[in-house]
Amino acid sequence: MRKFKESELIINPDGSVYHLKLRPEHIADNVILVGDQERVDTVSGHFSKVEFRVQNREFRTHTGIYRGERITVMSTGIGTDNIDIVLNELDAAVNIDLEKRVQKDELRQLNLIRLGTSGALQADIPVDTFVASEYGLGFDGLLHFYSYDQGLTESGMSEAFIKHSGWDKRMPYPYIVRASERLLETVAYDLRKGITATANGFFGPQGRELRIPLALPDLNDKMGSFSFSGHRITN
């Protein structure tokens, strides 16, 4: 059985994963992910009880009870690099024996629900509309650093977007992944659904031009006009 090296899986003296400072008992099966750490307090303010609190850097975690259900709410901070840390360490905390540094025989699956704010790309979506991400469109290239099942991505939709947008080959290859059907049906059954584009920066990647010219100045317009089998990029 593979044993994870100390350089690959860093564990704190208290037995918690390095960045998040979490042990498996601190994490509920249902995890709400927010960006801003202040939003953790907003969400946990609805809990009847908060049983655990911890923070390290921008990663703040509260676990407690809401309507009889145990829920964890956690902040990821800004950027896909932080998402990489959060998802890897959440998985490590629940599916790796942190003392023996080996994968557990029985694996645990978490329900991850991301809550955040974004800008609408369609004129028919009013401000303050709740939109569910039926698909995620990644511009960050992060996924390509992992060996993954190609069936995970919507290759036809990705290729159609590349052609429609005139994507610059110097940029990371865009990938599109569908959300969990079960979570869409249980959490987002009554919400407007669409494709959510995830940029790897706040300025240029989101079409904001200050003193540096943009490589794709009409990218937001191209995203707004894209459609594939009735699916539009909503935000």
> What does the pLDDT look like over 173-228, one tens digit per residue?
999 999 999 999 999 999 999 999 999 999 999 999 999 999 999 999 999 999 99
pLDDT at 156: 97
pLDDT at 96: 98
Q: Residue 1: pLDDT above 90? A: no
What value does the mean pLDDT take over residues 71-90?
96
Structure tokens at 23: 């042990």
Cβ atoms of 158 and 175 within 8 Å: the answer is yes
Does the domain at 1-116 match CATH 3.40.50.1580? Answer given as yes
Cβ atoms of 77 and 59 within 8 Å: the answer is yes
In tens, the pLDDT along 59-72 reads: 999 999 999 999 99
In tens, the pLDDT along 4-44 reads: 999 999 999 999 999 999 999 999 999 999 999 999 999 99
pLDDT at 36: 97
Look at residues 179, 182, 186 and name the one whose alpha carbon lies nearest to residue 231.
179
Q: Look over the chain and give the mean of its residue pLDDT values, rounded to a whole number.
A: 96
Look at residues 88, 184, 92 and name the one whose alpha carbon lies nearest to residue 142.
88
- Residue 48 binned pLDDT confidence (cut-offs 50, 70, 90): very high
Q: Residue 235: pLDDT above 90? A: yes
Strand partners, 31: 72, 112
Q: Which residues of 117-154 are buried (b: 16+ CB within 10 A; e: fewer)?
A: eeebbbeebeeeeebbbbbbbbbbebbeeeeeeeeebb
C-alpha distances (whole Å) from 126 to each of 61, 132, 196 are 32, 14, 16
pLDDT at 186: 92
Question: What residues does CATH 3.40.50.1580 cover in the chain?
Answer: 1-116, 118-235
Cβ atoms of 33 and 50 within 8 Å: the answer is no
Say which CATH topology domain 118-235 has.
Answer: Rossmann fold (3.40.50)
For the CA atoms of the chain, what is the radius of gyration? 19
What value does the mean pLDDT take over residues 154-170?
95
Question: Measured between alpha carbons, how far apart are the two ends of the chain, in Å?
Answer: 44
